Amino acid sequence: MRRIGTYCSLDPISHTMPTYTITELAREFDITPRAIRFYEDQGLISPKREGAGGRTRIYSARERTRLKLTLRGKRLGLTLSEIKSLVDMYESPKDSSVQMKRFLTVLARHRETLEQQREDIEVTLAEIAMHEDECRRMLEGGTAKKVQPVLRTVAKKPVSKRSKEAA
C-alpha cells in the first residue's frame, strides 16, 4: 500500500480500503495513542486486531471517521455518551430527518447549558470587578489595613444562581 504522509491511499492492485495505525491517527489528529485507546474502551471506535495475541490495532477509514466525529463532538463540549449516540446514528441507514432532529435536540440542550455557564461567569466577573474596585479604593484611601470590612463585604455579596443550586 502506498503511503501519502500519515494517510494511506487505496491500494491500486488489491483495491483495499485504507488502514491506519494508532500512531498515524494520533499524529494526524494531534492526540495521544492513549486517548485513542480510551475512545476504544468507551465503544466509540473498534479497530481490527492483528499480530500475536491481537496486539496490533488496525484502523479502517470507518474508524478514522468515527474518531474525527468524536473529536468534533468533544470540541463542541458534548459528553461521550452524546457523541456515541450521534456517531452511531450517523452510521445507520435510517431516515436522516430523525437523526437531524435528535442532533438539534442535543445541540439545543448543550446551548442552554453553555448560556447558563456564560451567565454564571458574567456574574462572577462582575463580583470580581466590584471587589477589585473596593480594594483599590481602600489602597488609595489608606485603609488597606482594615481587612475585616472587606471580608464582611465579600461575605454579604450575592451568589450566582448556579452557585446557590450547588450549595
Average pLDDT along the chain: 81
Q: Does the CA dihedral 42-45-46-52 come out positive or negative? A: negative
Please state the pTM of the whole predicted model: 0.60
Under-50 pLDDT residues of the chain: 1-9, 11, 167
Distance CA 46, CA 100 (A): 25
Q: How far apart are the first and last CA of the chain?
A: 59
The residues pairing with 7 across neighbouring beta strands, listed in sequence order, are 4
pLDDT for res 51: 85
CATH 3.30.230.70 holds for 3-78: no
| Angle between helix 80-91 and 61-76 (nearest 10) | 140
Number of helices and strands in the chain (H, E): 7, 5
The residues pairing with 8 across neighbouring beta strands, listed in sequence order, are 3
pLDDT for res 160: 55
Closest CA to 99 of 109, 85, 112: 85
Answer yes or no: are the C-beta atoms of 45 and 67 closer than 8 Å: yes
pLDDT for res 74: 92
In angstroms, the Cα distances linking 155 to 88, 124, 131 are 49, 14, 11
Distance CA 167, CA 155 (A): 15
Over residues 86-99, the pLDDT tens digits come to 888 777 666 678 77
